[in-house]
Amino acid sequence: MKATIKDISRLAEVSTATVSKVVNGKAEKISLTTKERITRIIEEVGYIPNRIASSMVTKRTKTIGLIIPDIANPFFPELARGVEDLANKEGYTLILCNSDNDLKKEDDYLGMLQEKMVDGIIFTASSNHSAVSLALNKSKIPVITVERNIDGLMSQQTIVANNEIGAFTAVKHMLKCGYNKILYLSGPIKSKPAQERYSGYLRALKESNIEPMKFHLIEGYYSGDWSFIRVQKIIKEGFDYDGIFCGNDLIALGALKALQASDIDVPNQVGLVGFDDIYMAQMVNPELTTVRQPNYEMGYQAAENLLAMIDNEKTMLNLNLLKTRLIVRGSTRSIN
């Protein structure tokens, strides 16, 4: 049988209230002797307070939920790590949920998290589905959306990277390097980030008075397998291009592999730029020029803001645009 606060109070010959106070560090008014006695007994017995029971009365579980598409996607571990680090630092615990961008799963997780009485939720939504936002709006639970904002969601905060400017800067750089027939290998264009990056891409071309090529937008998935195959096809078709701006690093990595497999020199024949700056971006040869997205910071900051919301209980509508940064490496040739 596991020891409870009652057992401790009995053994220490005090009330449960007193034990509770020393367990929770609210023991200013408890005499040193009893405090020490209680502490010793707790130690001896190996008493572990039942936080479930505390949560019942405090209405705080000190737990937050994180819903992301897939922790196995290299973009998310760092994000998750950022969230967890801040959470842990503040004594919170993190529940991890993989939605696979599946609306049903998102919904289920949202429900489970609320049933488990999490204090707040960090959410990378698959789309801006209104049903989800509605449910979320109704419940009073603090929610922060990360990486992609979700339209119908009111009175909540969003942390996203500045995709448009990131893409703009990247493509601008490619143009400066002398690439001017640049494809955009995009992830699913229905997602906000993909759209924003596309906008940035277009704006960069426009600003340089360069007409986008026909078929410059190639839509697919955020996967190296997809881009590998797709780029092979592009090569075979004898398409005329000299640069590829990729929706993310995975796409860029797959493209790089396909190009190298056909002995196309990167960066001399074709320039390549990715997005995210995942760890692997610097582990390939040539290293990937890419737009660094502060994933870890996004997670960390999301958690910071979430805890602030939890503490203040007031919700503020807010869009936090985090800066991206172009990391120039070897997959683009240097500017003459």
Partner DNA sequence: GTGAAAGCGCTAACAC
Partner DNA sequence: GTGTTAGCGCTTTCAC
Interface contacts to DNA, rule CB under 7 A = 2, 4-6, 13-21, 23-24, 26, 29-31, 33-35, 49-50, 53-54, 56-58
* 260 touches its own copies by CB under 8 A: yes
Name which of DNA, its own copies, none residue 321 binds, using a CB cut-off of 5 to 8 Å depending on partner kind: none
Work out how close the CB of 139 gets to DNA at its nearest, in angstroms, rounded to a whole number: 14
Residue pair 30/42 in contact (Cβ under 8 Å)? The answer is no
Work out how close the CB of 165 gets to DNA at its nearest, in angstroms, rounded to a whole number: 46
* 104 touches its own copies by CB under 8 A: no
Window contacting its own copies (CB under 8 A); options: 82-90, 157-165, 169-177, 212-220: 82-90
* 289 touches its own copies by CB under 8 A: no
In degrees and rounded to multiples of 5, residue 122 shows phi and psi of -110, 135
Work out how close the CB of 84 gets to DNA at its nearest, in angstroms, rounded to a whole number: 24
Work out how close the CB of 255 gets to DNA at its nearest, in angstroms, rounded to a whole number: 52
* 47 touches its own copies by CB under 8 A: no
* 53 touches its own copies by CB under 8 A: yes
Q: Strands across the sheet with 243-246, in order? A: 217-219, 182-186, 243-246, 271-276, 289-292, 325-327
Residue with Cβ nearer DNA (4 or 180): 4
Work out how close the CB of 21 gets to DNA at its nearest, in angstroms, rounded to a whole number: 6
d(CA 22, CA 12): 12
Amino acid at 18: T
Residue pair 192/148 in contact (Cβ under 8 Å)? The answer is yes
d(CA 260, CA 256): 6
In the block, which residue shows the tokens 């196995």?
Answer: 72
d(CA 330, CA 286): 5
Amino acid at 83: V
Residue pair 289/273 in contact (Cβ under 8 Å)? The answer is yes
Name which of DNA, its own copies, none residue 256 binds, using a CB cut-off of 5 to 8 Å depending on partner kind: its own copies
Residue with Cβ nearer its own copies (53 or 131): 53
